[in-house]
Amino acid sequence: MENQKKDAQIGVFHILKSVLDAKVPRLQDRVSAGKRAQAEYPILVDNIKALRQYVMNCRTFDPSEYHEAEADLDDKEMQLDGIQKRIDNGRTAERELAHVASFNQTYGAVCQKHNNASRVRELRAVADELEERMSRLEDKIWACQINMDNASRAPYVVSQAHSDADDYAAQYQDVEERLSRVMAQIKQLEK
């Protein structure tokens, strides 16, 4: 049941990733449009200032062109509103792209952790097996120590017990080193 839940969670991350990846080109287009609008904005503001001055002058000197200049001024002010909206949309898109970048980092970490989880389970099974083997070797070493009593055992039994105990101790040390390496791998994967 736990595996199904983890697989479902990683599945949600994969779906979110594909949705965000599909949005990125549109967001980048909006950012580009916003940057172009930022470049256009001061030029249009200067044009509007000049046109306002022209409208003021037309009202005084040439009333016939006043209406035409005023209509042109209204058109430029509407364009300025549109440019401001593109700038705002570009800034919003930049924030959304920052969120996408943050999600991508999280996604990478989650995928790495998910991929490592199966390897950690395998390594834990190996560690359990090694610990069981160490326990069996400890029992064998203890049994050899019992047979090392010169007073109650024959000399060949004592000699064989010393030899077997040395072999078991060497095996125990090898298994212990392997367990240490496996535990280090697990620790590294769980970071």
pLDDT 10s digits, 167-179: 999 999 999 999 9
pLDDT in tens, 92-128: 999 999 999 999 999 988 888 888 888 899 999 999 9
Higher pLDDT, 14 or 9: 14
Reported residue count of the chain is: 191
Cα–Cα nearest to 123, from 173, 175, 189, 176: 189
Contacts 24+ apart (CB under 8 A), 135-142: 137/168, 137/171, 137/172, 137/175, 138/172, 140/164, 140/168, 141/165, 141/168, 141/169, 141/172
**Confidence grade of residue 1 (pLDDT, cut at 50, 70, 90):** very low
Residue 58 clears pLDDT 90, i.e. is over it = no
Q: How far is it, in rounded angstroms, from Cα 173 to Cα 141? A: 12
